Amino acid sequence: MPIRSFLDRLASAAPTPGGGSAAALVGASAAALLSMVTRLAIAKRDGPPPGAEELLTTTEALRADLFAAVERDADAFNAVMAAYRMPRSTDAEQKARHGAIQRGLMHAAQVPLEVARSAGRTVDTCILAAGLCPRSAASDLRVAAHLARAAVLSASENVTINCASMSDRAAAASTAKDAERIVAEAETSYRRALCSIDD
């Protein structure tokens, strides 16, 4: 949907889109900025620097993946809500409902986990971009790094909240641990990216 419509929907009382979709959109914006500054490098009069075309392929793939996750996250949460609305008058219905809810929660945790992972790769890519892109785009690169880090942190919040409601505590703990690792790695890459941009 158009960005204004998305923001109007986000601002409404509707359950979707929510924080997970917003995180994905922020990550996609970071990747889009990386594509922009990479295209500036490719357009240099003396020709593109080595690796710039490959970098653009990477940033565009990240942008497409993160943008698609905007809808994937909303769909995942809608599935959880639909499971909660299932009938529960009989033992069989209660069992079916519980199973659907738990499957939905696992999927709803996995989608933002993938968003965090892709956004983390976007932070990593900022480091590569810093060595290729023109100094005039340094502020855009810093914004990309800030946004990508924010997407990682924001997506991890959605992993955490869904894991908290999962009855399979081992799976929940494993998924939450994956998110924590991604956040820790992204924080390291984020600091490296800013140092690389400022060099």
pLDDT in tens, 91-137: 999 999 999 999 999 999 999 999 999 999 999 999 999 988 888 89
Q: Tell me what percent of the residues of the chain surpass a pLDDT of 70.
A: 100
Quick check: 46 pLDDT over 90? no
pLDDT in tens, 144-196: 999 999 999 999 999 999 999 999 999 999 999 999 999 999 999 999 999 99
Quick check: 65 pLDDT over 80? yes
Q: Output the 3-class SS for 34-83.
A: HHHHHHHHHCCCCCCCCCHHHHHHHHHHHHHHHHHHHHHHHHHHHHHHHH
Residue 160 identity (one-letter amino acid): T
Average pLDDT of the chain to the nearest whole number = 95
Which domains, from first to last, does the chain contain?
A: 3-8+16-198 (1.20.120.680)
Quick check: 22 pLDDT over 80? yes
